[in-house]
Chain A
Amino acid sequence: MKRLLPVIIALCILVASFILLPKSEENKKDSDLLETQLNEYIAKMKENGETDELEKYWVTEYDRGNAEVDKSGITGENGKIIFAAEASFEPACFAGEGGELQGFSIDFIYRFCREYGYEPEIKCYEYTAMNDALSSGKVDIAVGVLEDEERAEEMTFTDNFIKFDIIAVYDSAVSNGFNSLDELNGKKVGIQSGTGYEQYLEVAIPDAEPVFFGDFASIYPALQQGKIDAMLTESVSFGVEKTEMPSFVAIDGSLETMPLRTAVAKTDDGGTFLDNLQNSFSKTFLRESRWQMFVKGVGITLLLTITSAVLGTILGLLIYLWCAHGKKAETKFTNILCWIMNSTPTVVLLMVFYYVIFGSYTISNTVVAIIAFTIHFACIFYDHIISGVKAVGNGQVEAGRAQGFTQDQTFFKIIFPQAAEHFMPQYQGSIVSLIQETSVVGYIAIMDLTKMSDLVRARTYEAFFPLLATALIYFLLIWVLTSIVKFISKKIDKKNRKKEKILKGIKLS
């Protein structure tokens, strides 16, 4: 019962935070008015040709580096409105000269505010986080979002203010190219997770294999290195991409035409807390059998953690023995390696392995991640051994050697069991860190628990529930893994043996 206590506490925290986390009431009051004004303004824009002007200026005749939003004439007499726009997405919203925000979304925001006497405050979010920002009441209006059913439960969409096509792109420098979208069947296609483009890919090119990346900056090198055959992007931004990566070629045809809309938070429908909870639960886990995604994610996270921990432990031990048998040079080399591995952030380390070290190999991403984490963990374990051995002291080594044990016998029979006693608590901590660190593998398109929860979040537009559920699952995984490590350390601690075990195979006279 006592062992279940942490689980119970975690559950309480989950429920409590769900109740207590603020759903800002204040903003919701305005949302009906804002919706009306936005629709009104968008209709007007279409009528007087402003929409076309916007598209021409920012997309078709985009003068990169010179295009600028007119930010004059803002009075702010009717108060301040907080907007969410997608960060670093040229030409929709990006930091231009002097860090000033530019782009058609920004342009739209200023035009709208000028018309209605608002003062805009613009916050830039990753695309996936925009939903959360809006549904949690952190912002009043999200600009440049795609409508879909599930999102419509959380927010109210206005009419579109710009349209674009989803297109597929290949790199002519590494690929012979594709003449039509159909040729992408059976190929790997990079997608930014959270965009939901996988749905359109599924319809347009049913046999293509989607590969998810955290952001576009990670998809480009993957395409250039031939890790994927093509990527999906938007027609509006391809012009910009083309100037940076001239060898990229768009395949004729569009997977889907997307109306880019603005959205305001939905007026509270007054459901009880329990209803909300049930609704969130069903959306997160039951709808479209999403629990399967969580199960798969947990599987991958466990696979990465356990494999890397086991292999890393073995490798760390081998490195230690290699150093112990070698001269000073081996130790020096290992120290430098460990120093580099331990001082590099895990994400960076993973990216280096994926894009640099294994850049030109076609190895599965999971294998690359396991290799990276194995070496990373080996370095940590090597340090554990070193500090453990130091704690045991040289006297034990001398006693063993003086009795005639070889260096390896002394290490395995005398030093290591005692060192293990010293480093086991640290080791347990390192396993916990490892499982947490594996959560960055989404960066190289591995679908672990964190990534799966991101995907679910992007589909459900639920901010809290999937996050807290994921946190709880991690908590449980860590609890299980530490219990296993504790069990093992108890097993290997010789002082826990019973008398019968010590005297096994001995007849007492």
Chain B
Amino acid sequence: MSDNKLIEIQHLRKEYEEVTPLLDVNVTINKGDIIAVIGPSGTGKSTLLRCINLLERPTSGKIIVDGEDITDHKCDINKVRTKLGMVFQSFNLYNHLTVVENCMLAQTTLLKRSRQEAYEKAMELLKSVGMEDFALSYPEQLSGGQKQRVAIARTLSTDPEIILFDEPTSALDPLTVGEVEEIIAKLAGEGCTMMIVTHGIEFARSISNRVFYMDQGGIYEDGPPEQVFDEPEKERTRKFIRRLACLEKKLTEDDGHDLRDEFQDIFGFLSNYKIETKRIVKVCNAYEEFYNLVMRYIVGEDKTVYVSLEYYAKEDKLTLSMAPSSTVEMNEEFYEKLENTLEYKILCNYSLGYKNEEADEGFGRRFTMEL
């Protein structure tokens, strides 16, 4: 096991003037680890990655890479960095160089490879990310997904021992997320050691063999994906996972009628879980009917309704609930009237089940349907 040690982090602390995102991080990363780093924003995920290659200098603590303490001022960090690849959210390709030169620069300058050797390596990598046809293009001519694929090839060009991905797909439009995730998954399959900060739970689950849930100034929960995603041991992790699997919105009449934005969000949210399009369309239709029903018969003066859409991956269960602010008295008579409306009848066609329960503070009831 100890032979396998790649990075050892001891008592890592990083303070900024106003916040201290990392209090005391102690963790060992082994060769072959594919670590998904998840957690609410602002919990130091990026900071952790950037400390590992010293883009941020830790306030205290040690980071030992391949037996060498890189926080030691005598350490030649530039040499170590060639072993620590990094892929950024915003690609950061060298804009003045062609795609192939982006993949050659570090090889010829830092690893002293010949131009020929560097070129061949670059082309091979570009082929593996499907970008060989763009070798002589400039970054500005590429789409986001293409840029990120080149950025991955560039990172691989120095044969790093670990790749640090910081939200590699967050800046991409939803349709091109897949092409980049595919490449990362392929790398994972080849046994490449990597740490990847991501919000794509399903993606993280599918490629990782270890998950860091970051919160409270450090790695709050560290375990295999089955544990962290499905049976988190700790309270905060559970809450986060639940929230992640949930699309929550507050709608008012002003937003109403034109539900296109809502549909887009629903689409984005559900496609994370690889749910087929037909089912998503059905959810959207149900959503619209549900919304109309609530708005017409239930909602109160301020026309406000809290909507939440949740997905339970384990049981493949989808629930949609709406909690309208309401002043009507919800007695038998009211429900009878409700059940006779056209909207309600249509809704029944979509629904697998129906629940009516006490809602959170301030709101009368929450209506939930299973889809």
A502-B101, A506-B119, A507-B116 given as contacts; is B106 within 8 A of A403 (CB)?
A: yes
A414 interface residue per 8 A CB criterion: yes
A418-B95, A495-B138 given as contacts; is B119 within 8 A of A405 (CB)?
A: no
Task: List the A residue with the shortest CB-CB distance to B115.
Answer: A505
Stretch in B79-87, B215-223, B228-236 touching the partner: B79-87
A399-B94, A418-B95 given as contacts; is B79 within 8 A of A404 (CB)?
A: yes
Task: List the B residue with the shortest CB-CB distance to A507.
Answer: B116
Is B53 a contact partner of A402 (Cβ separation < 8 A)?
yes
A403-B158, A404-B158 given as contacts; is B92 within 8 A of A409 (CB)?
A: no
Task: List the A residue with the shortest CB-CB distance to B106.
Answer: A403
Question: Chain B residues with Cβ under 8 A from A409's Cβ?
Answer: 109
B93 interface residue per 8 A CB criterion: yes
B88 interface residue per 8 A CB criterion: yes
Is A405 a contact partner of B55 (Cβ separation < 8 A)?
no
Question: Chain B residues with Cβ under 8 A from A117's Cβ?
Answer: none
A56 interface residue per 8 A CB criterion: no
Is A421 a contact partner of B82 (Cβ separation < 8 A)?
no
B98 interface residue per 8 A CB criterion: yes
A401 interface residue per 8 A CB criterion: yes
CB of A392, distance to nearest CB on chain B (Å): 8
Task: List the B residue with the shortest CB-CB distance to A394.
Answer: B92
- Cα distance, A224 to B85, chains bound together (Å): 67
Is B136 a contact partner of A405 (Cβ separation < 8 A)?
no
- Cα distance, A418 to B96, chains bound together (Å): 6
Question: Chain B residues with Cβ under 8 A from A495's Cβ?
Answer: 96, 138
Is B92 a contact partner of A413 (Cβ separation < 8 A)?
no
Contact of A396 among B94, B120, B155 (CB under 8 A): B94
Q: Is the interface of A mostly helix, strand, loop or mixed?
A: helix
B97 interface residue per 8 A CB criterion: yes
Please encode chain A, from 15 to 51, with 1 for each CB lying within 8 Å of some chain B CB and 0 for all others: 0000000000000000000000000000000000000
- Cα distance, A405 to B105, chains bound together (Å): 10
Additional A-B contacts beyond A413-B109, A503-B119 (7; CB < 8 A): A398-B55, A401-B55, A402-B81, A405-B78, A405-B109, A418-B95, A502-B100
A406 interface residue per 8 A CB criterion: yes
B90 interface residue per 8 A CB criterion: yes
B259 interface residue per 8 A CB criterion: no
Residues of B within 8 A of A (CB): 53, 55, 78-82, 84-86, 88, 90, 92-98, 100-101, 105-106, 109-110, 115-116, 119-120, 136, 138, 154-155, 158
Is A395 a contact partner of B78 (Cβ separation < 8 A)?
no
- Cα distance, A14 to B122, chains bound together (Å): 59
- Cα distance, A125 to B55, chains bound together (Å): 66
Contact of A402 among B55, B105, B109, B138 (CB under 8 A): B55
Task: List the A residue with the shortest CB-CB distance to B111.
Answer: A404
A418-B95, A494-B97 given as contacts; is B81 within 8 A of A395 (CB)?
A: no
Is B158 a contact partner of A398 (Cβ separation < 8 A)?
no
Among B84, B88, B93, B96, find the residue whose CB has the most chain A CB atoms closer than 10 A: B96
A404-B82, A404-B110 given as contacts; is B115 within 8 A of A506 (CB)?
A: yes
A395-B92, A413-B105 given as contacts; is B110 within 8 A of A403 (CB)?
A: yes
Question: Chain A residues with Cβ under 8 A from B86's Cβ?
Answer: 399, 402-403
Is B92 a contact partner of A396 (Cβ separation < 8 A)?
yes
Task: List the B residue with the shortest CB-CB distance to A403.
Answer: B106
- Cα distance, A399 to B93, chains bound together (Å): 7
Please encode chain A, from 417 to 442, with 1 for each CB lying within 8 Å of some chain B CB and 0 for all others: 11001000000000000000000000
Please encode chain A, from 75 to 116, with 1 for each CB lying within 8 Å of some chain B CB and 0 for all others: 000000000000000000000000000000000000000000
A499 interface residue per 8 A CB criterion: yes
CB of A208, distance to nearest CB on chain B (Å): 58
Contact of A405 among B84, B110, B115, B138 (CB under 8 A): B110
- Cα distance, A421 to B119, chains bound together (Å): 26
Question: Chain B residues with Cβ under 8 A from A404's Cβ?
Answer: 78-82, 106, 110, 158
Question: Chain B residues with Cβ under 8 A from A507's Cβ?
Answer: 116
Task: List the B residue with the shortest CB-CB distance to A421.
Answer: B96
Is A502 a contact partner of B116 (Cβ separation < 8 A)?
no
7 contacts between A and B (CB under 8 A): A399-B92, A401-B81, A403-B86, A404-B79, A404-B80, A404-B81, A499-B136
8 smallest CB-CB distances across A and B, nearest first, come from A399-B92, A404-B81, A404-B82, A395-B92, A402-B86, A403-B106, A506-B119, A404-B78
Question: Chain A residues with Cβ under 8 A from B158's Cβ?
Answer: 403-404
Task: List the A residue with the shortest CB-CB distance to B90.
Answer: A395
- Cα distance, A506 to B135, chains bound together (Å): 14
